[in-house]
Chain A
């Protein structure tokens, strides 16, 4: 069985990418089980997706603990400790796809990844920006994964048509066809930019392999004092302890020459990551910005630009 895990943030099209990849494997005749996992639907929040592909019946469900193929759509997600663990739990001989401007050497160094894991890096954001003029990566991610798995390009096209039918037909501008064609173009361009790998053989050779697990002791819970066991947060204001700078690929940069101090960005920021300084100018606290694009969209004088981050800061 081949187990694929996708990591990204809300707005990147992770669920649709999962649906396209799952559909391609299904069209190839494999047994497939796929599932996204996320909390409240919101741009910028973490999204996982899991895909199991097998020649035999799939006797498993839910969260994939250790994966053969990790697809990292949002490079900075890996700064979060619980997601960083995915890197440690890659199966031997596994592969990681990184959407990044950094090269393989840099990525290996930055995340301390051993040579037993294959790494593929590709700047999918720039490709998506060029072809779709957006940050939505679904068809591009599917193109990359399908190339690495040596799947068929015509099946990939068919899968994109099936999986985007309902999404694109609801497009308010009425230009579904050009949207579809652009998505297919993005998938093709990504597909053709990468080289295939040997990972497809893993699907065939690992059919009887069980999902890895960490040996874990079962413990007996004692009753705790209500001070502890009531579901109440006693130290309010602890949001400040949760640094979220790893949640984004882009950061808003305010052009203070253009800014009219209208405070619309301050009002709209859903995370209160924008404050007003003594001169009445807005200031972004990048520790808490999730790059949701709302300030960028709402600014009436286009004084805010979303700038791509190229290092972990």
Chain B
């Protein structure tokens, strides 16, 4: 094992190398580009024995990834934002083909207006495709999740692609200490990829991804995908235990922080969890608030039962969605509410906040605001709006200046 200071993007590339990936179809997009820049350089310098192919679009890139993995080669690909959206049609297809591979998505807010900074409308837009989704908080998390991703994806009982999400800028270009395991440990954890069913082999002809015009058959195959994906929640414990045994790091479907004795809980995902943890520390130490945090690491399949177990008996829960379903609200909020609705000891107060859109940092003022609204709601004074945007007076002043410069007078 070596320790190094690397970006989230480089951590992803290192994981690909450690997993002995054979084939990398690629298409560049900020902030993902660094991943494929590093991989293409390693392939050129013969540090990585893989085939690197640049495609003309993400749509073709994902098609190639799905087809290649069915031919028995370990496949990796990566994209961001508009690229993921452009590939959406094929994302549904490769799941239906039961192609095992790993796709890294470097989160970036979607256009329009265009931005480079992260939120999760890109990755959550494709939540219904069937991709298993693991969302990373740290650069170490990125490396480890890709290794775990291959193990889950290639499991003969699964054969569904895995998406590992890392936030643009906050992880992609941020360097932190990463423990890089020796390759023999990775080989111990991740056996060689041998496709056992439904793969492309010239000697034994088969037809994959065939049309199903009969609606009963269509229902059958679609629901089988759902059941198989749900099974991942059950098998995950063994994968996680095995990972911990070999690498010494433990990753559950969810992570609690100062959670056990907390009355109030902030639910959050991805790299902003780190910022929220600092806020939890500070709210406890400086303001005496009994706050904890719940980070959701696996978003598909959705770990509803685990969420209920962690939140049962809490006084109040605030869900921070770093995304917005326009005309609806936060995307994860209703999923969490429905995980709790029919359960015993469900928290009576569950509020929805939207923050960090386009990478806007969630400041301590905003975390303090969340807790004050939550406390009031628990006392019986719920907020007027169902979905609350974390937006400060400073933010508004900045926007007002821009509106003025663009020729619009406000107030």
Contact = CB atoms under 8 A, between A and B. Distances in A.
Contacts of B396: 219, 221
B407 A221 contact: no
Q: Which of B5, B170, B363 has its CB near the most chain A CB atoms (within 10 A)?
A: B5
A218 interface: yes
Contacts, number: 108
A84 interface: no
Contact of B175 (A22, A59, A65, A214): A22
Contacts of B286: 210
B225 to A, nearest CB: 35
Interface string A218-246: 11110010011001111100100110000
Contacts of A221: 389, 391, 396
B410 interface: yes
Interface residues of A, number: 41
Contacts of B393: 216-219
Given A233-B406, A241-B405, A31 B177 contact: yes
B174 interface: yes
Contact of B407 (A211, A231, A238): A238
Interface residues on B, range: 35 or more
B271 interface: yes
Interface in A24-69: 26, 31-37, 39, 58-63, 65
A62 B275 contact: yes
Interface stretch (B126-134, B236-244, B277-285, B322-330): B277-285
A220 B385 contact: yes
A34 B392 CA distance: 26
Nearest to B171: A61
Contacts of B173: 35-36
Nearest to B5: A26
Interface stretch (B189-197, B211-219, B364-372): B364-372
Given A210-B364, A228-B410, A238-B407, A33 B385 contact: no
Contacts of A227: 408
Given A62-B361, A217-B392, A218-B392, A32 B175 contact: yes
A221 B116 CA distance: 24
Given A39-B116, A210-B282, A220-B385, A32 B177 contact: yes
A290 interface: no
Given A22-B175, A58-B176, A60-B278, A218 B390 contact: yes
A33 B112 contact: no
A215 interface: yes
A123 to B, nearest CB: 30
Nearest to B399: A221
Given A210-B282, A216-B393, A228-B403, A32 B176 contact: yes
B224 interface: no
B394 interface: yes
B5 A32 contact: yes
Given A35-B174, A217-B393, A210 B278 contact: yes
B106 to A, nearest CB: 14
Contacts of B366: 216, 218
Contact of A213 (B5, B116, B364, B390): B364
A34 B274 CA distance: 15
Contacts of B23: none
A58 B274 CA distance: 9
B150 interface: no
A34 B174 CA distance: 6
A231 B115 CA distance: 13
Contacts of A34: 5, 174-175
A61 B274 contact: yes
Nearest to A39: B116
B410 A35 contact: no
Contacts of B272: 61
Given A241-B405, A242-B405, 11 more contacts: A32-B5, A32-B177, A36-B173, A59-B274, A61-B274, A213-B364, A218-B391, A218-B393, A219-B392, A233-B407, A235-B407
Interface of B: 5, 112-113, 116, 169-170, 173-177, 271-272, 274-275, 277-278, 281-282, 286, 359, 361, 363-366, 369, 385, 388-394, 396, 403, 405-408, 410
13 contacts: A26-B177, A34-B5, A34-B174, A61-B174, A62-B174, A210-B278, A210-B281, A211-B278, A218-B365, A218-B392, A234-B406, A234-B407, A238-B407
Q: Which 8 A-B pairs have the closest CB atoms?
A: A235-B407, A234-B407, A59-B278, A216-B365, A233-B406, A216-B392, A35-B174, A218-B369
Interface of A: 19, 22-23, 26, 31-37, 39, 58-63, 65, 210-211, 213-221, 224, 227-228, 231-235, 238, 241-242
